[in-house]
């Protein structure tokens, strides 16, 4: 398929506009011509003292001679001005076209319905700017019906209309034939221009359709490519994630190797030495065991340090409760949001990993509420229910009807999963997050009891 570019369509559009302009000018000429002939004939009847004969023949009054061309020109100009309105739609469009048709009726009436081609002009003009819809066809049908109805031969059988021929009777027979001939030529020209215009319009529409079809195809192709690229990108992302995991694992391995490995190696070697020495020199063995204990202690210190290296800063410095209060206070001062904090249970019974999770959840939720929810009021509640720790964070922000799990929620869930906990969230009225963590049997339990 040959793709037509936009420029050639622009050319055709311009050409069809030229045809329309010619048509408008031609219509003005025709109207003036017919009006002039009618006026001349009326003046002639008066000048030759045959007015009575003319009046009794036509059986009705006429408009004064000079008024016909003046009024016809005024009405046609009014019609042309209306045609310049191009951005009409809906009722305005119907009003506009209705006005144009009534104007064309008035002009035709003035000219004794001897010329009705203005209706074609209106049809041509409107077809171009009419919005593409089914009503376009019904509109065209209505206008065509009107065109048929205002024909002289049809109307004259019902109403007393003075035909163009009656005016022509004033002239000599050869003149009469010439005048009628000119009128017919004008009429044919108008019809011909109308046909040319309509063919052009159809042509433009067809090429436009072709162009759109072609563009559509291109778009589909590009879309497919894009989809492929997307899939690849996703794969890359997965790989990258894996790589980070591996690196982290390696780091942990190294850490374990450097601290635990070192300590354990020292301990094993020391114990082996003790085994050998125990019977021979119990005192030395004792010394040795002391040294081993020192190494183990050192090892444990190293492990703690390593773990601490992965912990949040606040938790590093304070205990969980203080850390939470600290964070909340910081957020309060930084954002001016009202944050209520209510804790009904003791928070000193958790292991570091649990503290970590609790701290991270609270921190993440406040950040989310402020960043995404634009919340002004956040309520944080922490309570214990039997062996379940419940953390509930609620805000009055814009919420989110259709919650898409982002990285934050995903991470929270992952962390909770590690502690066998669960996460619930709801974005219908503000945003609400509820996390449940089972409390381990151990120190905390005993203390609380």
User: Binding mask 321-360 vs other proteins (x if CB under 8 A, - otherwise)?
Assistant: ----------------------------------------
Counting contacts by CB under 8 A, is residue 37 touching other proteins?
no
Counting contacts by CB under 8 A, is residue 99 touching other proteins?
yes
Shortest distance in whole angstroms from residue 413 CB to other proteins: 53
Shortest distance in whole angstroms from residue 129 CB to other proteins: 12
- Taking only Cα atoms into account, the Rg of the chain, rounded to an integer number of angstroms, comes to 48
Whole-number Å distance between alpha carbons of 204 and 197: 10
Shortest distance in whole angstroms from residue 121 CB to other proteins: 15
Contact criterion met (CB below 8 Å) for 380 and 432: no
Counting contacts by CB under 8 A, is residue 173 touching other proteins?
no
Nearer of residues 87 and 336 to other proteins, judged by Cβ = 87
Nearer of residues 113 and 170 to other proteins, judged by Cβ = 170
Counting contacts by CB under 8 A, is residue 61 touching other proteins?
yes
Counting contacts by CB under 8 A, is residue 84 touching other proteins?
yes
Nearer of residues 88 and 127 to other proteins, judged by Cβ = 88
The angle, 0 to 180 degrees and rounded to 10, between the axes of the packed helices 118-129 and 67-83 is: 10
Give the one residue of 28, 74, 161, 352 binding other proteins; rule: CB under 8 A: 74
Give the one residue of 88, 140, 189, 256 binding other proteins; rule: CB under 8 A: 88
Whole-number Å distance between alpha carbons of 176 and 289: 141
Q: Which residues pair with 395 in a beta bridge?
A: 378, 431
Q: Which residues pair with 383 in a beta bridge?
A: 390
Kindly determine how many residues on this chain lie close enough to bind other proteins according to the rule CB under 8 A. 37
Nearer of residues 81 and 309 to other proteins, judged by Cβ = 81
Stretch that binds other proteins, among 20-28, 98-106, 166-174, 241-249 (CB under 8 A): 98-106
Shortest distance in whole angstroms from residue 185 CB to other proteins: 28
Counting contacts by CB under 8 A, is residue 161 touching other proteins?
no
Nearer of residues 77 and 148 to other proteins, judged by Cβ = 77
Give phi and psi for 329, each to the nearest 5.
-60, -45
Nearer of residues 1 and 52 to other proteins, judged by Cβ = 52
Counting contacts by CB under 8 A, is residue 49 touching other proteins?
yes
Counting contacts by CB under 8 A, is residue 92 touching other proteins?
yes
Among residues 31, 36, 40, the alpha carbon closest in space to that of 170 is found at 40
Give the one residue of 21, 46, 144, 237 binding other proteins; rule: CB under 8 A: 46
Stretch that binds other proteins, among 55-63, 363-371, 384-392, 394-402 (CB under 8 A): 55-63
Counting contacts by CB under 8 A, is residue 36 touching other proteins?
no
Whole-number Å distance between alpha carbons of 315 and 1: 70
Q: Which residues bind other proteins (CB under 8 A)?
A: 42, 45-46, 49-52, 54-56, 58-65, 67, 70-71, 74-75, 77-79, 81-82, 84-85, 87-88, 91-92, 99, 103, 106
């Amino acid at each position: 398929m040959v793709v037509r570019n936009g420029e050639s369509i622009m050319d055709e559009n311009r050409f069809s506009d030229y045809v329309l302009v010619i048509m408008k000018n031609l219509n003005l000429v025709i109207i003036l011509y017919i009006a002039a002939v009618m006026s001349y004939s009326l003046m002639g009847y008066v000048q030759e003292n045959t007015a009575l004969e003319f009046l009794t023949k036509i059986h009705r009054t006429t408009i004064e001679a000079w008024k016909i061309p003046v009024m016809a020109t005024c009405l046609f100009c009014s019609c042309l001005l209306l045609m310049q309105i191009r951005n009409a739609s809906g009722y305005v469009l119907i009003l506009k076209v209705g006005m144009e048709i009534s104007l064309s009726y008035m002009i035709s009436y003035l000219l004794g319905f001897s010329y009705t081609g203005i209706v074609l002009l209106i049809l041509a003009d409107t077809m171009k700017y009419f919005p593409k819809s089914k009503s376009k066809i019904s509109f065209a049908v209505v206008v065509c019906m009107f065109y048929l109805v205002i024909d002289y031969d049809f109307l004259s059988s019902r109403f007393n209309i003075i035909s163009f021929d009656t005016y022509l009777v004033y002239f000599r027979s050869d003149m009469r034939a010439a005048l009628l001939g000119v009128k017919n030529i004008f009429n044919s020209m108008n019809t011909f221009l109308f046909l040319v215009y309509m063919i052009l319009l159809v042509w433009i529409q067809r090429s436009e359709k072709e162009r759109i079809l072609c563009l559509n195809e291109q778009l589909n192709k590009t879309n497919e490519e894009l989809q492929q690229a997307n899939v690849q990108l996703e794969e890359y992302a997965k790989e990258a994630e894996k790589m980070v995991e591996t690196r982290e694992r390696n780091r942990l391995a190294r850490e374990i190797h450097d601290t635990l490995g070192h300590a354990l190696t020292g301990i094993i070697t020391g114990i082996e030495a003790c085994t050998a020495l125990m019977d021979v020199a119990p005192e030395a063995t004792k010394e040795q065991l002391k040294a081993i204990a020192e190494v183990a202690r050192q090892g444990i210190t190293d492990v703690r340090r390593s773990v601490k290296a992965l912990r949040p800063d606040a938790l590093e410095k304070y205990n969980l409760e203080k850390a939470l209060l600290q964070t909340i206070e910081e957020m309060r001062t930084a954002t001016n949001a009202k944050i209520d904090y209510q804790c009904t249970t003791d928070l000193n019974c958790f292991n570091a990993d649990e503290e970590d999770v609790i701290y991270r959840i609270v921190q993440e939720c406040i950040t989310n509420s402020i960043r995404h929810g634009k919340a002004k009021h956040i309520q944080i509640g922490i309570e214990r229910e039997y062996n379940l720790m419940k953390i509930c964070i609620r805000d009055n922000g814009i919420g989110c009807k259709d919650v898409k799990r982002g990285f934050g929620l995903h991470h929270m869930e992952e962390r909770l999963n590690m502690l066998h906990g669960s996460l619930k969230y709801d974005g219908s009225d503000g945003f609400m997050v509820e996390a449940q963590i089972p409390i381990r049997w151990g120190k905390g339990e005993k203390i609380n009891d």
